[in-house]
Amino acid sequence: MPFVTIPDGTRLYYEESGEGEPLLLVSGQGQDHTFWNGVRDDFVNHYRVIVYDNRGTGQSDKPSEPPYSTRGFAQDAIALLDYLGIARAHAYGHSMGGRICQWLGIDHRQRIGALVLGATTPGNAHGVPRTAEVDALWTNPPADPQEALRAIGGLFLSPAWIETHLESVMAMFQAPPLPEYARTLHYLASEGHDTWDLLPTISMPTLVIHGSEDLMNPTANAYLLAERIPGAELSLIDGGRHGYLVEFREEASRIVNDFLARHPL
């Protein structure tokens, strides 16, 4: 099984598929690489697609210290690129993965080609936080699995789509449960994110893509990011929730592929 041991001794699990310019897909809070299973095939015809498990998730190690941070997760991603011998790559992050990608663009700009920030925010300090009700649901989902699937699934996908694509919905949340301490560390890392002052230093081509009906990371954040990052493009998926990339797969993947094609390494 493919693992990389990064400088602090943590092992990260990763997978590769496709050929072409490298494209790193970065998962969000508490999600492992399987989050991308429903869409990564949309990129393999043109890109060497790399997915991996952030520390604390999936098959990667789950150290309890030092504290996790989105900036630290970005350093882990660079360590993976180093191991794979990749000097530069495109990066597409979803939710907290988009927060990680912001740090890739800030701290590691020489390593990143084009940047795609999906359904993400600049952090609660200057962004628009989710409501207390949504946050409570996300952090304390119902104990009953079916009830939890309906409740959490409704934040990601429309009820009508869930009814007709139940297998896809279940696959979207098939990652093994995180140990409670790791879930807490991921939550704290995401909540502690703040790139506001440094966003104007992102210089690579950047696409901000977001669902128009996102309650998990309110859609207003997309406008803030696009205004704050010089030259950033903004694309809203009409009717999309937090899981726009799955429910509106054809449209979202086309937009991302078109953007990447216009900005080759």
Beta bridge partner(s), residue 25: 51, 92
Provide the 10 A C-beta neighbour count for residue 133. 9
In a structure prediction context, what are the per-residue pLDDT tens digits for the chain, which is 265 residues long? 799 999 999 999 999 999 999 999 999 999 999 999 989 999 999 999 999 999 999 999 999 999 999 999 999 999 999 999 999 999 999 999 999 999 999 999 999 999 999 999 999 999 999 999 998 888 888 877 777 777 888 899 998 998 888 777 777 766 677 899 999 999 999 999 999 999 999 999 999 999 999 999 999 999 999 999 999 999 999 999 999 999 999 999 999 999 999 999 9
Peptide bond into 66 cis (omega under 30): yes
Beta bridge partner(s), residue 212: none
Q: Which CATH class is domain 3-132+177-261?
A: alpha beta
- Gap between the Cα atoms of 172 and 166, Å rounded: 10
Q: What is the pTM of this model?
A: 0.95
Half-sphere exposure of 181 (CA within 13 A, CB side): 8
Angle between helices 180-191 and 70-83 (to 10 degrees): 100
What is the biggest distance separating any 2 CA atoms in the chain, rounded to whole angstroms? 47
